[in-house]
Amino acid sequence: MSFFRKKREQSTLASLKIPKHLAIIMDGNGRWAQKQMMPRVAGHKRGMNTVKEVTKLASDAGVQVLSLYAFSTENWRRPADEVSFLMKLPVTFFDNFVPDLMANNVRVTTMGDIESLPANTVEAVHKAVEETAANTGMILNFALNYGGQAEIISAAQALAAQVADGTLSPQEIDKSNFEANLATGFLGELAQPDLMIRTSGEERLSNFLTYQSAYSELYFTDVLWPDFGAADFQAALEAYTKRDRRFGGLNPKEK
């Protein structure tokens, strides 16, 4: 990239509002592959490269948390060979990409039932989380074997257990202790995505961050995930910059 093009891109980014927490539903890998007459898994492989690129773009833009929906609790319904390929992706990804994550000060975290994944996937994920644990830059938060409804039920169970053992009364259940028991509890005030992107033209949240997306701005694009690049990232931020976030209140100029 030329010096001047780089400068121009930097100055455009500088005029944009940057979401503190960006969440992405990475959809369209299968359709991308079918369009190229390739097997579906080729789309997932290309999608993994997009993960690398978007991680760098988000980190450079100043995003503080990037949550990516990599495998849902419903994805087990796919053909066994596709599931097995998807399970190998984190292994390949972290084997190749941890040095870059270190260089960019990115910390890896996860949400979901990781321990039920195949042993080598669990090992690769734990290793990446441990190796990057001291990094202080962007948090790259992978949802793996994650479902929003299951997450809410599990928080309810944890609080109910405290009520049953007498350490909490039902009246003491509030937003704060409920949120602390969600998979995003460790993110504190950054738990709720400011912007949620879904690629490939589908317009639904598919059980991703169901509780946390209450006030998220939603951005849908027809671009398939393997094709999602810098210009598409910038277009999403431009749309977000124009949104008027009121959180149920009034815009200051209307008061």
- Active-site annotation, residues: 27, 75
**Any known ligand binding at 32?**
yes
Interface map 20-39 toward ligand FPP (x if CB under 6 A): ------xxxxxx--------
Alpha carbons 233 and 217: distance in angstroms, whole number? 15
| Among residues 41, 42, 48, 117, the one that binds ligand FPP under rule CB under 6 A | 48
Q: Which of positions 189-208 make contact with ligand FPP (CB under 6 A)?
A: 200
Q: Which of positions 225-254 make contact with ligand FPP (CB under 6 A)?
A: 225
Q: Which is nearer to ligand FPP, 30 or 193 (CB)?
A: 30
DSSP string, 127-149: HHHHHTTT--S-EEEEEEEE-HH
Q: Which of positions 117-176 make contact with ligand FPP (CB under 6 A)?
A: 142
* Amino acid at the residue 185: G
DSSP string, 175-226: HHHHHHTSTTGGGGGG-S-SEEEE-TT--S-TTSSTTTTTT-EEEE-SS-GG
The CA radius of gyration of the chain, in Å to the nearest whole number, is 19
**Any known ligand binding at 131?**
no
Kindly provide the b/e burial profile for residues 60-70, where b requires at least 16 CB atoms within 10 angstroms of the residue's own CB.
ebebbbbbbbb
Alpha carbons 173 and 19: distance in angstroms, whole number? 29
Number of residues this chain uses to bind ligand FPP (CB under 6 A): 19
Note the residues at the interface with ligand FPP (CB under 6 A): 26-31, 44, 47-48, 51, 70, 75, 86, 89-90, 93, 142, 200, 225
Q: Residues marked as binding?
A: 27-32, 40, 44, 72-74, 76, 78, 198, 204-206, 217
Q: Residues marked as binding for substrate?
A: 28-32, 40, 44, 72-74, 76, 78, 198, 204-206
